Amino acid sequence: MAGGLKEVRSRITSVQSTRQITQAMKMVSAAKLRRAQDAITQMRPYAEKLQEILANVSSTLDSSEGVYSVEREVNNVLVIAITSNRGLCGAFNNNIVKEVKRLIAEDYAGKNVHVLSLGKKASDTFSKTSHHTTDGYSDTPYEIFDDLTFGNAGDIATIAMSQFADAKYDRVVVVYNSFKNAAVQDVITEQMLPVVAKAEEGGSAATEYIFEPNREEIVENIIPNSIRLQLFKALLDSHASEHGARMTAMHKATDNASDLLKELKLTYNKARQASITNEILEIVGGAEALNG
């Protein structure tokens, strides 16, 4: 019985230590989530409206002007998979990996699909496959999360735009987690290139624009910057989603550790009480034997 008590005490100590770690990680993620959430909620309205304008403007350009809106037969596809660099965030990373694998197997079956991993967890998965690519990019593009800025995101988007314009890829899509709240993240598959106008409700025509100062400057500056902003928004969305998912996962882990701790303490008290009872019975039995 003494050996059993020692084992239970050891497990209690271990669970207490684990609960302290998960609780600390939950608090850290909560603090980071607040900043990341502010960043994406402030960015999202601007980015979405700009994306709407970009799509409508691109639909008015001919093939010689809109190099980023040229639609070709899809044979070569670049999938930009955005995950985190670390785990312990529930199904956050696995959902992205599953969606990318589904795209390869179903939507782009038989096509030449390359996966650019922005996030170490995606890189760990796809670097073992023939779909993995870093051609033209840094050997470790997932390091963008070490310094997540518009400039760094823009550098990656610029390379993708150049590869699309050179017809290396016929389509570029981004797969990421869109932040809803700390407990909910939606997997989004978003087409980055070619830029296409979204279907208007009721079949209404696209909005007409007056170009100022001129159409050429719009094409050369605003459209490329809008595409860079689209990727940056996806990275910010994923960044906020990661901290939300990790905070939720660590909250559940802390609750589970607390429940397990209660069970272990109850087991320990029962075992200890049984041990004391057995010792009393042995003493009483020994005393009766001496009296007899």
The residues annotated with a catalytic role in the active site are 89
Nearest residue to 29 via CA among 188, 229, 252, 233 = 252
Residue 191 CA to residue 214 CA, distance in Å, equals 27
To 10 degrees, the CA torsion angle through 89, 106, 123, 244?
-20
The whole-angstrom separation of Cα 123 and Cα 86 is: 12
Check the CA dihedral 144-150-152-157 and report its sign.
Answer: positive
Reference 234, options 164, 168, 170, 154; nearest CA is 154
Token digits for 271? 């075992």
Q: How far is CA 287 from CA 6, 19, 101, 277, in A?
A: 29, 46, 74, 15
In angstroms, rounded to a whole number, what is the distance separating the alpha carbons of residues 49 and 51? 5
Report the alpha-carbon distance of residue 79 to residue 103 in Å, rounded.
9
The 3 state secondary structure assigned to 242-257 is HHHHHHHHHHHHHHHH
CA distance readout (Å), 20 to 63, 250, 260, 261, 276:
60, 11, 14, 12, 32
User: 77 Cβ partners below 8 Å, 6+ apart?
Assistant: 108, 111, 112, 113, 114, 169, 170, 171, 172, 173
d(CA 20, CA 275): 30
